[in-house]
Structure 1
Amino acid sequence: MDATPWAGRDRVAAALQMLRMRGVFYCRSELTEPWGLEMPAIADSVSFHVPTVGSCWLRVDGVPPVELRAGDLALVPHGRGHEILSSPDVRSSPRVDLLPQHFVGPHYSVLQHGGGGRATQLVCGVVAFDDLAARELMRSLPSVLTVRADEPVMASSVRDTLRLMADELTRTQPGAEAVATRLSDILVVQAIRAWLAHDPSARDGWLLALQDDRIGTALEAMHADPGGDWSLEELARTATMSRSAFSARFTGLLGEAPMAYLTRWRMNLAADRLRDDRATVAQVAAEVGYRSEAAFTRAFARTIGTTPGAVRRQALLPAPAGG
């Protein structure tokens, strides 16, 4: 489980550099008013939507509807189900994955839908992150993240990325999905960077903790050596703080105690490793700092909600046909 330490004080920049995505699905939609589409929830994923022609509305439970105009970019970071609509008063929104569409490849389709009125064209994608630090970063993002086409932060490089992605997903050529996935890396990083620069709420939680000189140092150490012989005392020493002050500041910034965070980090790393069919439970237990497989199994089940063996057996099952 190789880890590259996050060097320097700008740990957020380092976290952004670690973002690597895998495309789950891409869709180019040609829509005519009135129309509505329900996007199903997909765990551990980020959805993005870019109208290239016309406009639409994004509706996520608990968030006021957001209008998107041509060239705007919206991220829905937490794998939540949501709706894309021609207007906020549209009530009927069939699930997009149940509508007839033309599948250009196993992970890319073209959808035509609507009532014949004003046209809107959309490029949408669902991407997932394999890196644990990237997933933790995603947890820190708001329910909806929007970058407007006319904002100064929407530099020509962002618009060029959107144009290239739309072009790749419009033309059916070899490697289009692979190129779109790499462009997704860039697009999501650009959107998060814009949010960090212009939204005061970005300086909170995990991201704020990363930027803290002392707590960030302890986080860096844990992430770089998750299997280390860490104790509360050792982490406080790394942060050059007293144990009580370190624990209070860490918990205040991250909403959980240092050792609880470390256990959660280790168990999520372990779950990722167990999905690799070459890793045994005993090997993974040792990698995340447990000398006793039984103690590791108890901690894993308490944190993840299932046993290490169950996760490993699930990973070894053959993929569903057509998946």
Structure 2
Amino acid sequence: MEDAVVPGSTDRLARVLHTLRMRSTFYCHAQLTEPWALEMPAIVDSISFHVVTAGTCWLRLPGGESRELRAGDLVLVPHGLGHFLASAPDAPPGPRVDLLPQQYLTDRYSLLQYGGDGRRGQLICGIVSFDDAAARELMRALPQLLFVGGDTASAAEPIRDTLRFMAGELARTQPGGEAVATRLADILVIQAIRTWLAADPDTGTGWLLAMQDERIGRALEAIHADPGREWTLERLAHLATMSRSSFSTRFTELVGEAPIAYLTRWRMNIAHNRLREENTTAARLATELGYRSEAAFNRAFTRIIGRTPGAVRREQSAISGGVITPVRSSLSLLRP
């Protein structure tokens, strides 16, 4: 039977969640007074999230209906989608949040005070992206809006506990409070994804379904575990105990691209992360990721990433050397 080893799919997803690592995070503690409205800009390859710690607000995606958020609610907006927040469902669009004056308490944390002279509300908002290649694939499989209600059965007790802890940290001024709040925000994002998956293990599309498919998931995990191996269509099909044609068709249907195209993109995502985080070279990465020449690696990298390996290294050196400060680097994500 094709789906005989069901626990394997669960274990694979658990391992992906365990490896979630965030980067380029920026958080904002928003103290808002009605009436108010804000535009959250689109940011490529990121997830925005909002936690309502006091009061209520309304969230709207472009072309969509407004959704009310109450104290204790958590919402994730994946795929870098721009969206709107407001104190009323029919409020006109407000200014972009990154263009408003705010107090930067740290390089990655700001305090925003904005609005009229009405009822007060409070949000903690964040922008997160992920370095781990498997986690990035998982992000692509998320819905346009992931909502976890603070007062409904959809919110697991750990999420409610984290939300209460966060609200307590923000309610009083004390040393390190903003650092604690941002760490809690990281935890909330992972908890929300876990809750969504647990509510319906068969949910999602694309890569997420592929990971849960016993045969295709087995091949995917082999690629993830050893990306530098000399993988061929025949070897991957053999691992999945399928014919080459059946494997290629099934893989493409679930993942959305052919096996070797996926392998190439996976390798380039790993290379991109390592060029940004490590003192490595394109020549070394070419060898480790299964390329016979640095030139072939450079061509694949530029085609997939859109920049040369050298450009990525120079950009990271500028940030690390202080030419571009962390704050400017984070806020540059918000510019059109």
Q: TM-score, normalised by structure 1?
A: 0.91
Alignment of 1:60-71 (within 5 A): 60-71=61-72
In structure 2, relative to structure 1, the CA distance for the partners of 1:36 and 1:273 (3 Å cut) is same
Alignment of 1:235-254 (within 5 A): 235-254=236-255
Do the aligned residues in 2 keep the contact of 1:41 with 1:80 (CA within 8 Å)?
A: yes
Q: Residue in 1 aligned with 2:147?
A: 146
Helix, strand or coil: the match of 2:42? coil
Give the number of aligned pairs: 317
**Cα displacement (A) at 1:170:** 4.5
The residue type equivalent to 1:116 in the other structure is D
CA distance in 1, matches of 2:179, 2:232: 43
**Cα displacement (A) at 1:124:** 1.3
Do the aligned residues in 1 keep the contact of 2:73 with 2:150 (CA within 8 Å)?
A: yes
Do the aligned residues in 2 keep the contact of 1:215 with 1:239 (CA within 8 Å)?
A: yes
Q: Residue in 2 aligned with 1:114?
A: 115
Q: Residue in 2 aligned with 1:4?
A: none
In structure 2, relative to structure 1, the CA distance for the partners of 1:108 and 1:203 (3 Å cut) is closer
Do the aligned residues in 2 keep the contact of 1:49 with 1:122 (CA within 8 Å)?
A: yes
| Structure 2: tracts of 5 or more residues without a match | 1-6, 328-336
In structure 2, relative to structure 1, the CA distance for the partners of 1:120 and 1:268 (3 Å cut) is same
In structure 2, relative to structure 1, the CA distance for the partners of 1:222 and 1:181 (3 Å cut) is farther
Q: Residue in 2 aligned with 1:226?
A: 227
**Cα displacement (A) at 1:175:** 4.0
The residue type equivalent to 1:263 in the other structure is T
Q: Residue in 1 aligned with 2:135?
A: 134
CA distance in 2, matches of 1:214, 1:273: 29
Which is worse superposed, 301-310 or 279-288? 301-310
Alignment of 1:12-51 (within 5 A): 12-22=13-23, 24-51=25-52
| Structure 1: tracts of 5 or more residues without a match | 1-6
**1:307 aligns to 2:303 (yes or no):** no
The residue type equivalent to 1:266 in the other structure is R
**Cα displacement (A) at 1:65:** 2.1
Q: Residue in 1 aligned with 2:277?
A: 276
Do the aligned residues in 2 keep the contact of 1:28 with 1:170 (CA within 8 Å)?
A: no
Spell out, residue by residue over 1:82-141, the C-alpha distance to the aligned partner (whole angstroms, 9 max, x if none). Answer: 211111221141111222223222222222211212222112122222211111111111
**Cα displacement (A) at 1:174:** 4.3
**Cα displacement (A) at 1:166:** 2.9
**Cα displacement (A) at 1:157:** 1.6
CA distance in 1, matches of 2:175, 2:24: 16
**Cα displacement (A) at 1:277:** 5.0
Helix, strand or coil: the match of 1:43? coil
The residue type equivalent to 1:159 in the other structure is R
Helix, strand or coil: the match of 1:110? strand
Do the aligned residues in 2 keep the contact of 1:21 with 1:182 (CA within 8 Å)?
A: no
Q: TM-score, normalised by structure 2?
A: 0.88
Spell out, residue by residue over 1:13-41, the C-alpha distance to the aligned partner (whole angstroms, 9 max, x if none). Answer: 21111112246222222212211011223
Which is worse superposed, 132-141 or 226-235? 132-141
Spell out, residue by residue over 1:200-238, the C-alpha distance to the aligned partner (whole angstroms, 9 max, x if none). Answer: 872421111101100000000000001011000000011
Helix, strand or coil: the match of 2:114? strand
Alignment of 1:24-103 (within 5 A): 24-103=25-104
Q: Percent identity?
A: 63
Which is worse superposed, 291-300 or 19-28? 19-28
Q: Residue in 2 aligned with 1:3?
A: none
CA distance in 1, matches of 2:24, 2:158: 21
**1:161 aligns to 2:169 (yes or no):** no
Q: Residue in 1 aligned with 2:206?
A: 205
Do the aligned residues in 2 keep the contact of 1:59 with 1:82 (CA within 8 Å)?
A: yes
CA distance in 2, matches of 1:26, 1:167: 17
Helix, strand or coil: the match of 2:81? coil
Spell out, residue by residue over 1:276-295, the C-alpha distance to the aligned partner (whole angstroms, 9 max, x if none). Answer: 35101100111211021111
